[in-house]
Amino acid sequence: MSEIHTEHGHEAHGEHAGLDKKKIWQVFGILLLITVIEFIIALWVIPGKHMSQHIGNYVYIVLTLLKAYYIVAYFMHLKYEKLGLQLSLTVSFVFIIYFIVLMLIEGGYLHLHMPLV
């Protein structure tokens, strides 16, 4: 295996070489755009009754998950890890969210309109 040494003597991995300044600014731009969309929805669309609060909440959730993906994938370098690690972290995260929602439902803090059997 070839090793690339920096000025400090640390190894740099070739698989992380895809994250250059251009890509960082591109991801920053995407995150900024998503944030601007969230502000427009919060300050103009929902108060102007162009979208209901219920739909707005779902839009916020989707946009927040999209921002979380970009942050974890690029700035925490998960995109450059092996598929097995990506899947194990993603599946674990989904189960944690699922269990939190179940606990909120069972604890009575989250009321879903479901018929009682």
Is there a single domain that holds both residue 61 and residue 99?
no
Contacts of 19 (CB under 8 A, 6+ apart): 74, 77, 80
> Can you tell me whether residue 11 is helix, strand or coil?
strand
Measured from the Cβ of residue 74, the count of other Cβ atoms closer than 10 Å reads 20
Is there a single domain that holds both residue 46 and residue 95?
no
Is there a single domain that holds both residue 72 and residue 87?
no
Residue pLDDT, tens place only, 68-96 = 888 888 888 888 788 888 888 888 888 98
> Can you tell me whether residue 76 is helix, strand or coil?
coil
Is there a single domain that holds both residue 75 and residue 99?
no
Strands (DSSP E) along the chain, which ranges? 4-5, 11-12
Residue 44 CA to residue 64 CA, distance in Å, equals: 18
What's the mean pLDDT when you consider all of the chain? 79
Task: Domain count for the chain, please give it.
Answer: 2
Is there a single domain that holds both residue 18 and residue 65?
yes
The parent domain of residue 95 ranges over: 82-117
Is there a single domain that holds both residue 76 and residue 35?
yes
- What does the pLDDT read at residue 81? 84
Is there a single domain that holds both residue 23 and residue 76?
yes
Residue 87 CA to residue 75 CA, distance in Å, equals: 18
Is the pLDDT score of 1 beyond 50?
no
Residue pLDDT, tens place only, 6-57 = 454 444 454 455 678 998 899 999 999 999 999 998 898 888 888 888 888 8
- What does the pLDDT read at residue 30? 95
